[in-house]
Every structure is written in C-alpha cells, then in structure tokens.
C-alpha cells in the first residue's frame, strides 16, 4: 500500500516534516499532519495584502507584501526557516495552493544558499486527496467494538495493528468527561489525522463504537454510515472492573496530564474544574436533584483525593454509570438492533480482543 501511494501522500505516511508558511489563523483552522507553522506573513499583514489584492489587483498586493515583509522582518522569517531546517533538513514547504507564498519562501532560501522543495497544489490539493482516502476507507471491511462505558474499548483498539483510534484523532475521549488539557482537534485536523492513519491500512479496519461527534469533530458521513452498517463485537465487564478502568482514565491519568501541562497546583485546580463542568453539562439529562447529589459526592471525593485517597471518586462514578451512562448505552443499543446486523461476538475484554484479531486476519 505505501509503495503504491502517490508522492504527495507518501509525505504524510512517512511523517515528513512540513513547513506551513500560511498565516497563523489559517494554520489554526487546520494544517497537514507533521506541519509546523512558520508563516511568511502574520495575520494582520495577510489581511492588509488581501485588501490590496481585492481593491488594486495582484501587482499592488505583491508590492505591499514586499514592503511589509522586508528588512529585519524578512531576515527574521528566513532565520526561522533556516533554524528549523537545521533540525529537519528534509522538511518541505507548502502554502494554501502551492503558489506565491511557498514560491517566495523558496526564493528567499535559495538566495541564502538553501534549496528545498514545495508541495505542488499546496494545502488545498493535499486536503482533497486526504479526504478522498477517508471516502475509500468507507468501502473497506470495518469491525466496530462496542460496550458499556469503562470497558476499555480504546485500549483494545490500540492493541490491534489495524485499529483506528478515532478518539486519538480528535484528542478527546468521546464523552462529557473526555476533555484533555490540550485543545480538542479541529474538524479539518481530525479528518487529516484520520486519513493519515488510514494510509497504512488498506485492508480490514477496527474502530470503536462512537457517537458521530467526538469533541469538536464529526466523523465524516461516509465513514460514519459504514460504521453503522458494520458487524460488531461487544465487551461485557463487571461494574467493579469498569470503575477501576474509569478511575485510571478519568482520574489518575487525567490528573497526570493536567499536572504535566500546567504544574501541580494549577493542574490540580483545572482538573477539578474540568470534571465539575462535565457534570454541569449533563444537567438536562440528569435532572437538577440528581446533579446536585452527584456534585456533593464529587466535592467530597476531591477532598478525599487531596488527602491521598483518589479511590473515593467511585462514590460519584458508580451512580453516574448505573443511572446515566449504562441506561443511555442500552437505549442506543436497542435502537441499533432494529437495523444493524447481530453482534458476531459478545464476551469479556480478552475474548473480544481475540475475536477482533481473528476477524482481522
């Protein structure tokens, strides 16, 4: 498969370093996997050049750009590219359409004695072929791993060579409590990361049973419909087992992530805020009385946690599972049964892992 990829997609499959010379606002909306933003122009410079282009034409816009990015500013932009190329000498440039901005970057570097290629067609062309890869993957055989919250479905997916971790692409764990310290992935970046993963997987795919929306991103419709039609395996584990899993994922690991990102004090405070706000987001479905009860239990659990007993969170996690997530999942399951094929396997985590491996081969 990798050998058969066109050169443009091999850049992604090989995780080649890329230099995105578009403005920061463009980069924030969505970039290519492996790209760093070292812009030719700032957002304000780009805005001014855009106005000149609309009002006076291309020549006037180019002339304004040359005046805005000149002297020490120009040298600083070139120095940033040079510094990155010292660490990543095989990096490749791109801009929106592979046109003027990446050509200018090439030219300035050539004048400094450095030759680097650019992506023909730029971001726009690459986005087209990446989205096309997702459309193609929707026609491949897909297996969906289902199960109640806390059944470690994501862990199972990542044990498989052909597993596609949709939550990793979204940088979100797929529930109200799934936010991470880093910002969730944008829709464009989610699609690009998903396509990049799919490049190495021409055969059977295994994915987790997800809602269409994960964090800020939606699974592309063609792939989502394919997931709804796909055969399934379902993990069944005890409540105690699932609580231990949630304790690790949503308390222990979440605290480590926040502390690593923000430091001990601020990380601890922001983790509490995140989990508290997650409960509030469920108010309409929980009802006010149940929400207040869970909030009291959560507050007491955080106090016990701060005194060295993180296990105390089971006091609010257990009713959250049994009174909210489990009934919601069973309702979802009953709706699926009306149109979906029967589960091809139901069992504990280890047996489902083996069933997924057998289906994959």
What are the catalytic residues?
95
Q: Distances in Å between the alpha carbon of 90 and those of 18, 82, 96, 113, 150? A: 9, 12, 20, 15, 43
Distance separating alpha carbons of residues 217 and 222, to the nearest angstrom: 15
**Which region, left, alpha or beta, applies to residue 192 given φ > 0 means left and ψ of -120 to 50 means alpha?**
alpha
C-alpha radius of gyration, the chain, whole number: 24
Q: Which helix (H) or strand (E) holds 207?
A: strand 205-208
Backbone φ, ψ for residue 40 (5° rounding): -70, -40
Using alpha carbons only, give the angle 261, 216, 95 rounded to the nearest 5 degrees: 85
Contact 94, 118 (CB under 8 A): yes
- Terminal C-alpha separation, the chain: 17
Residue with tokens 């296990």: 311
Q: Residue 114: name the closest of 145, 83, 160 by CA.
A: 83
CA distance 14 to 347: 37
Closest CA relative to residue 255, chosen from 240, 242, 280, 274: 274
Dist. CA 240–CA 175, nearest whole Å = 20
């Amino acid at each position: 498969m990798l050998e058969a990829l066109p050169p443009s997609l091999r850049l992604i499959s090989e995780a080649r370093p890329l230099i995105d010379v578009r403005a920061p606002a463009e980069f924030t909306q969505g970039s290519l996997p492996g790209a760093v933003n070292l812009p030719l122009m700032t957002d304000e410079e780009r805005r001014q050049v855009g106005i000149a282009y609309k009002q006076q034409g291309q020549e006037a816009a180019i002339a304004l750009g040359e005046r805005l990015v000149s002297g020490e500013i120009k040298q600083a932009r070139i120095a940033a590219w040079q510094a990155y190329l010292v660490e990543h000498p095989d990096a490749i440039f791109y801009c929106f359409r592979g046109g003027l901005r990446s050509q200018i970057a090439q030219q300035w570097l050539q004048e400094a004695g450095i030759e680097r290629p650019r992506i023909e067609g730029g971001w726009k062309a690459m986005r087209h072929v990446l989205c096309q890869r997702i459309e193609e993957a929707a026609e491949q055989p897909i297996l969906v791993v289902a199960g109640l919250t806390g059944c470690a479905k994501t862990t199972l997916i990542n044990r498989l060579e052909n597993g596609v971790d949709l939550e990793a692409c979204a940088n979100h764990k797929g529930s109200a409590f799934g936010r991470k310290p880093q910002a969730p992935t944008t829709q464009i970046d989610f699609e690009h990361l998903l396509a990049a993963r799919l490049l190495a997987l021409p055969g059977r795919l295994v994915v987790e049973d997800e809602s269409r929306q994960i964090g800020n991103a939606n699974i592309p419709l063609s792939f989502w419909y394919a997931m709804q039609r796909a055969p399934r395996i379902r993990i069944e584990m005890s409540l105690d087992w699932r609580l231990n899993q949630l304790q690790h994922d949503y308390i222990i690991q979440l605290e480590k992530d926040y502390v690593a990102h923000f430091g001990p004090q601020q990380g601890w405070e922001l983790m509490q805020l995140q989990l508290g706000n997650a409960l509030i987001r469920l108010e309409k479905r929980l009802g006010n009385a149940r929400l207040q009860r869970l909030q009291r239990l959560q507050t007491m659990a955080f106090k016990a946690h701060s005194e060295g007993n993180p296990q105390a969170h089971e006091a609010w996690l257990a009713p959250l599972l049994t009174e909210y997530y489990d009934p919601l999942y069973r309702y979802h399951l009953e709706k699926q049964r009306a149109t979906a094929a029967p589960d091809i396997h139901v069992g504990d985590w280890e047996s489902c892992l083996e069933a997924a491996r057998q289906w994959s081969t």
